[in-house]
Chain A
Amino acid sequence: MRTPREQRGENRGALIAVRITMVKKIKADGSPCRKCADVEERLKSSGLWNGIDEVVVADEREPDSEGMRLARQYGVDAAPFFIVEDGPGQVRIYTVFMRLLREVLDKPVSESDEAAEILDRHPGLDLL
């Protein structure tokens, strides 16, 4: 899949001096993951989609798909997630989208939004 930046033929911008890969999921029944679609739409509507270098699909029907391989490699068990490469061998994994917004894409995020997303990812926490 060509990256948004590649499609535009752009060089990496000065603002975001990292490479960002989004891993999104196709569910076992072939339908797209709703959360992944929500996140993608939010990136597009806020003008941040261009900051994503590559989009990789984790297809639950294909355990060897690139996204599933990356999930195994980085020990991630939920989608979407983001791989942020700061340089050779310097990789950060973001499973909380709000944290990516705040720490990498430099967008203000309320702590309550971030907390709600953590709960969304870890629903057992609400029983504490």
Chain B
Amino acid sequence: MKTPEFNVNAAAAELEGRHPSEILRLALGQFKRVAISFSGAEDVVLVDMAVKIDPRVQVFSLDTGRLHPETYRFLEHVREHYGVQLEALAPESAALEKLVREKGLYSFYRDGHRECCGIRKVMPLRRKLATLDAWITGQRRDQSPGTRAAVPLVEADSAFSTPEHPLVKFNPLSRWSSAQVWDYIRENNVPFNELHNRGFISIGCEPCTRPVLPNQHEREGRWWWEEETIKECGLHANNAAKIGGR
């Protein structure tokens, strides 16, 4: 049950400048139907912080079926280390079988990754979020300047909310840099995915993830074959001023 009258704008103002663990405390305290989305990478810090607040915190991961063996081992290690019930969300079999039957196992190299990610990630995620009133992600502003540059600490989820089922999304690590995350991991002896030792920064599905070189942005380790295009759906009145010089 969601706490009545949760005001996202007021919460956003209140949480500005707060430590991620304080944001987690508020999220876990305000909502009963709340869970952490854990990718199997450095967002493990959220799990570490959350179990110190509520050892029974709900954690789920999107098991796309294409993760690295190292990531599966890490998910299991996290489950045992923290004693959490880590829920692995699998893709809907009919949709996945249809994709593979019609386009093969590597269609993303040819057609782009959206269709595959839609089936392996978005559909299971939507199914899970329909059972929650709030969710918590490890999204950070510095992960992808193009798509995550404006990740707020808390927001009304615009992707999965419906008029009948409003959903709140917390991003406690939004303001943290990769360096801050790794400082926390070292200082608190937090377990981490062994792929990080081999140059992987951003970790996703095995066919779509590669290690990056020093000074390469972590986003360059994901879907590197796709041309980076400007997201053009956004409505940006400010663009006019920039182009028109007004």
Interface residue ranges, A against B (CB under 8 Å): 25, 27-29, 33-35, 58, 60-63, 68, 71, 76-79, 92, 95, 110-113, 115-128
Contacts and interface: CB of A to CB of B under 8 A. Distances in A.
Contacts of B98: 112
A18 to B, nearest CB: 14
25 contacts: A27-B232, A34-B232, A60-B236, A60-B240, A61-B243, A68-B237, A77-B235, A78-B234, A78-B235, A79-B234, A92-B163, A111-B92, A112-B119, A113-B118, A115-B118, A118-B118, A119-B114, A119-B121, A121-B233, A123-B147, A124-B148, A124-B151, A127-B144, A128-B39, A128-B125
Given A58-B235, A115-B126, A127-B204, 8 more contacts: A25-B233, A33-B232, A60-B236, A68-B237, A71-B235, A79-B234, A92-B163, A121-B233
B198 interface: no
A112 B118 contact: yes
B144 A28 contact: no
A88 to B, nearest CB: 17
Interface string B137-148: 101000110111
Interface centre among B95, B98, B125, B240 (most CB of A within 10 A): B240
B235 A115 contact: no
Interface in B127-143: 137, 139, 143
A119 B122 CA distance: 7
A126 B37 CA distance: 13
A127 B202 contact: yes
Contacts of B160: 118
Contact of B114 (A25, A35, A120, A128): A120
A60 B125 CA distance: 33
B147 A124 contact: yes
